[in-house]
Amino acid sequence: MHVMRTPKGEMKTSLKKGAWSLEEDRKLIAYINRYGIWNWSHMPKYAGLLRSGKSCRLRWMNYLKPGLKKGSFSKEEEQNILHFHSILGNRWSAIARKLPGRSDNEIKNYWHTTLKKRVTNNPVLKGSKQESMNISQSIESDNDEKLDQEDVNHANEINFSWTSKDDNYTPKDNQVEFIADIGSPGTVEDLQYFWKELYPLEELEERNIDEDMFLDHIFQDSYDHTITPWSFYNDEYDITSTSI
DNA sequence: AATACGATCAACCGCAATGCT
DNA sequence: GAGCATTGCGGTTGATCGTAT
């Protein structure tokens, strides 16, 4: 479990690490769907996740974000990665911006597992890479400016382009629709509604109480501002006591 | 059938950049 | 400008799975 004792015997939560469960994905998607991305560091507790903001961000960016492609890279994508890598080097995020629907992590993995060997074993590709590296310096600053603008466009796209009908959307259990980036933690009333919608009372009662989130409630007093579905049903949560 | 090995990929970690007070 | 919080990035790790022995 993610409950520990300090040397003084006080109860303390530790953040969860490792693979994300379907339940956690569902919470993250539902929360961002409703409130948008307003602050990665603070958002996990409002979303009922025992994760670091970093972990949430990574999960969202690399796996849950609307519009992400999954599955094998096409020939064209491969060519693009090789091409842009020859110009940009290991600047994975910059390369990712050139390949819509692919995350930097995915491209980086694909490079290390597949493409790197191909380039190393192919003198022609190797040579063209060297040549490209030489000219890359001169165009780099220009590229950066363009990429910055693309960042803005990309962000705008994400917020408004996706619906649950997207073929590439992976998690099957999340029948939520991405509306827009609202960008706020929500009011107490909002959050109460959010939780009650996400976990209808009947469903909540049927659930196994052992689940991480719900167990936390047992130690509620030991935690600082831990939020659970229960706290909303019992009107325990006071948002004014939490600093953002 | 058991296990050793390599490939894959999700996730972590540390650090740098940026923003805010 | 200092100090702190937050975000973003790239290198790396480790769990898992398929294949070979």
| Each residue's pLDDT tens digit, A3-16 | 555 555 555 567 89
Location of structure tokens 């603070």:
A42
What's the pLDDT at A158?
33
What is the rounded distance in angstroms from the CA atom of residue A227 to the CA atom of residue A199?
14
Domains of chain A, residue spans: 3-67+170-241, 75-161
Distance A127 CA to C6 C1' (A): 41
8-state DSSP, A24: H
**C20 C1' to A25 CA distance, Å:** 37
Predicted pLDDT of residue A14: 75
pLDDT of residue A202: 55
Give the pLDDT confidence score for residue A118 in this predicted structure: 78
pLDDT of residue A188: 65
Ranges of chain A whose pLDDT falls below 70:
1-13, 120-189, 192, 199-244
The whole-angstrom separation of Cα A110 and Cα A73 is 9
What's the pLDDT score for residue A184? Answer: 64
What's the pTM value of the predicted model, to 2 decimals? 0.66
pLDDT at A185: 64
- Strand C positions within 7 A of protein Cβ atoms: 5-12, 15
Helix A188-198 vs helix A22-35: crossing angle, to nearest 10: 140
Which nucleotide is closest, CA of A90 to its C1'?
A: C10
The confidence score (pLDDT) of residue A126 equals: 57
Alpha-carbon distance of A106 to A188, in angstroms, equals 38
Q: Which nucleotide is nearest to A88 (CA to C1')?
A: C10
* Rounded-to-integer distance, Cα A204 and Cα A199, Å: 6
Close Cβ partners of A12 (under 8 Å, ≥ 6 residues apart):
A3, A4, A5, A6, A222, A223
**A10, two tokens:** 């006080």
The nucleotides of chain B lying under 7 Å from a protein CB are 7-14
Residue A122's pLDDT is: 66
